Structure 1
């Protein structure tokens, strides 16, 4: 672990204490709170090389904090993440097997502490308005079974729909409202280049909303979603569009806009819950052209302890514009989360992946790992 990363984690701990102090003092008025989680993961595969590059086993650690403070008619919300530095040739960089790796890296690829959300939330009408530094994945494409890498599935494809061109941690606004009955809706408008942009992962990039991204002018990422829920059944449908252009796949002239449609559906099944995801996107703008997944979560009582079993399968379809021999990515994952003591848990994890990176020549692979975590409130 590099010195910079150690300093980042120490800074996160100090920030947690700084938030917790006022929160504790304000508990009597119930106008502040702090929650968080610390996780550590380890993954390994039997493959030693891919495309001539060495594959290393990978260990990763992450701290997540979220706090809120009532002020005026609404509340300030703060999210902080800190993570260790990703391995140069780690398993996740080749297979997308761990969404917690690289969530907060700087321009040198080192882990760091970062404020990933800072927004004011205000009740308005039949819903709530948010404005500030936002994570669009915290607003759109959410469900109860496959939504967080901290306690559920590790693979990024089971955290969010890969056909949605989400930017990371951007300036924007969001509104979540409800209509009479069982229908709700969500709207998001923000910059299309944020804190973890590949070409400039800095706060300067966050605030330079009129700048450039990959040789093209930045644009606006917009999303809208309708949600229906009744008696444990859910259905969601959404659309997204990015006004900023990207380099087109399969040609060298002009530019392309990312856009697409997505849907989710959930139902109780036996003692657990089944969730499905689907999506299609402009294959001229991005490699992930379509997506379909099913995920199941089952609470189990084992050896007098609360445990959760999760299994999921997915197919990510490849764009027909890719400049190499491509095939869809097939993926499966299973985890077993065991509450060892209080909110401390251990979670063995097993993944199967075929055609990683849409490369038709890449053999299927098994990835084994484990995750340990501690949640606090």
Structure 2
């Protein structure tokens, strides 16, 4: 049998011969065209056979062994250099370009991943810190010797919130606050006044005015547990235990509860009966160990309401002496709502302190109730009011009313600035009026009420720094109709982040 190439050639020749034989018998124009196509086809077949022969010859020929060996050796050497370069983390100019590029990409990847890992490690941790200083000039009418007094103090606060894990469906967090500060000796012989402090920022420890002093102000754990199986339930229960500032959880007020930014006089920072009047029963720095339970309902969000109750150590218990022996107990109902887009908070609370120290030094129980309201009425204006009334106990004043507000500086192109104005009325109790004339601490016929006014302008220098000139005016201090009015000038500086 002939090879395929020879068979294809024989077939083309036979076709041409047959065509020629037929043409001798009768040639027509159509046959001429057919013969021509057959010839071209035979020529193409012959060319293809020659090309195939050449390709088969090339494929059968062996590759030059020396060139292939050199290429294989070069690849093996390059592989060894890459492997050696990748064993070290250092980048060298002598390494192959591929190794240098791989190490550069790896270094960039690690640089990008480091902040991500740090962010994951710090997730849930919040830190806030501030340092404030206050200089005040108190006129001589506040002092028994009649001399003006200049006072200077500073205070620093550091608060840290840490995630504390989950218990069932509840989420825990831990909060700690460190406080450090220093204050002058204060008024040497202060005249009687219902006002607890002209400077609520003042902080001085047992070391005296010459040394700074630091304490662990707060350290408490809080567990917030949603009620129900729905993850988005509007109902939650909150449990807080540890050393706390009771005013963080009760008698709050958005306009008047931050002495570092707003009003300095103590009667405006908290309800006067609780703080200046001493019914809260906390330690010398305003803190106490306690236990708090709260229920929160946000079903009508953005409106919400909350009910809470707590027991705090009072007297020696506030200093961890006899904790929860006749504690300070307080309950509060609060409601938050938006009025035409403006936030408002309304709080009603009642308390009982089993170790209350009266104005005559006696220790007995006291009870009372109060209101705290703050409402923004305009994008530039927010108002507040507080009222307190003592129902029992030997309080020097048994009724207190404070009102005021803050106006932002948008009207004069200083939106971060604020102007605050407040007024207080502290009514002398019947017991105090009866006993003051015969008391060696007072010795006058008490009538009416002490009145306090405060005005400040907060100048926000930058997002962290503010300066606040402050003016206070106290009339009829401790309900003494013969007392001269007292004026207090001050300047506060605050750095916070």
Corresponding position: 1:209 with 2:322: yes
Q: Which runs of 4+ in 1 moved over 6 A?
A: 90-94
Q: 1:348 to 1:111 in 2, by over 3 A?
A: same
1-structure distance, mates of 2:118, 2:291:
30
Q: Choose from 206, 212, 226 the match for 1:106.
A: 206
C-alpha contact 2:143 2:187 (8 A) present in aligned 1: no
Of structures 1 and 2, the one scoring higher in RCO (CA 8 A, sep 6+) is 1
Instruction: Tell me if 1:326 matches 2:425.
Output: no
Go from structure 1 to structure 2 and tell me whether the alpha carbon gap of 1:296 and 1:62 turns closer, same or farther (over 3 Å shift). same
Give the C-alpha shift of residue 145 in structure 1: 0.2
Q: How far apart are 1:82 and its partner, in Å?
A: 1.1
Pair 108,92 (structure 1): closer, same or farther in 2 beyond 3 Å: same
Tell me if the contact between 2:426 and 2:451 (Cα under 8 Å) persists in the aligned partners.
Answer: yes
Q: CA deviation at 1:39?
A: 0.6
Cα distance between partner residues in 1 of 2:421 and 2:370:
21
1:146 positional shift: 0.3
The one of 130, 133, 137 aligned to 1:40: 133
Q: How many residues align?
A: 334
Q: Distance in 1 between matches of 2:328 and 2:202?
A: 24
* 1:6 aligned partner: none
Residue in 1 that maps onto 2:310: 188
Are 1:260 and 1:282, in contact at CA under 8 Å, matched by a contact in 2? yes
Q: Distance in 2 between matches of 1:326 and 1:350?
A: 26
1:72 is paired with a residue whose SS is: strand
| Paired residues for 1:221-236 under 5 Å | 221-231=328-338, 232-236=343-347
Match of 1:202 in 2: none
1:279 alignment partner in structure 2: 388
1:267 aligns to 2:375 (yes or no): yes
The equivalent residue for 1:173 is 291
- Return the structure number with greater helix share: 2
What TM-score, normalized by structure 1, do the two folds share?
Answer: 0.80
Q: Cα deviation per residue 1:123-172 (whole Å; 9 max; x = unaligned)?
A: 13413211011111111101110001000100000000111211231111
Tell me if structure 1 keeps the 8 A contact 2:358–2:396. no
Check the 8 A contact 2:358/2:395 in 1, yes or no: no
User: 335, 340, 365: which is aligned to 1:257?
Assistant: 365
Structure 2: distance between partners of 1:281 and 1:260: 4
> Normalising to structure 2: TM-score of the pair?
0.62
Residues 299 and 244 (structure 1 numbering): CA distance in 2 closer, same or farther, change over 3 Å? same
1:336 aligns to what? 457
In structure 2, the CA distance between the partners of 1:366 and 1:48, relative to structure 1 (3 Å rule), is closer
Q: Secondary structure at the match of 2:267?
A: helix
Shift of 1:246: 3.8
Q: Deviations over 1:35-71 (max 9, x none)?
A: 0111111111343663336441111101011111112
CA distance in 1, matches of 2:406, 2:468: 14
Q: Where does the alignment leave 5 or more consecutive residues of structure 1 unmatched?
A: 1-23, 196-204, 212-217
Query: In structure 1, how many angstroms separate the alpha carbons of the residues matched to 2:255 and 2:190?
Result: 22
Partner of 2:72: none
Give the deviation of 1:174 after TM superposition.
1.4
Larger displacement relative to structure 2 (61-70 or 79-88):
79-88
Secondary structure in structure 1 of the residue aligned to 2:424: strand
1: CA distance, partners of 2:248 / 2:316: 15
In 2, distance between residues paired with 1:157 and 1:83? 22
Of 31, 38, 48 in structure 1, the residue corresponding to residue 124 of structure 2 is 31
Tell me the equivalent position of 2:183. Answer: 85
1:60-99 residue pairs with structure 2 within 5 A?
60-73=153-166, 74-89=172-187, 96-99=197-200
CA shift in 2, pair 1:221/1:154, >3 Å: same
* Unmatched segments (≥5 aa) in structure 2: 1-116, 167-171, 227-235, 437-444
Q: 1:291 aligns with which of 400, 412, 418?
A: 400
Partner of 2:269: 159
Q: Distance in 2 between matches of 1:227 and 1:242?
A: 21
Q: 1:228-258: per-residue Cα shift (whole Å, max 9, x none)? A: 12112332100000123545759x7xx5311
User: Is this contact kept in 2: 1:219–1:245, CA < 8 A?
Assistant: no
Q: Calculate the aligned-residue CA RMSD, in Å.
A: 2.7
Match of 2:470 in 1: 349
Give the corresponding residue for 2:256: 146
Following the alignment from structure 2 to structure 1, what is the Cα–Cα distance between the partners of residues 483 and 175?
Answer: 43
Counterpart-to-counterpart distance in 2, 1:98 and 1:329: 17
> In structure 2, how many angstroms separate the alpha carbons of the residues matched to 1:107 and 1:283?
36
Q: Distance between the aligned counterparts of 2:132 and 2:359, measured in 1?
A: 38
Contact 1:54/1:89 (8 A) holds in 2? no
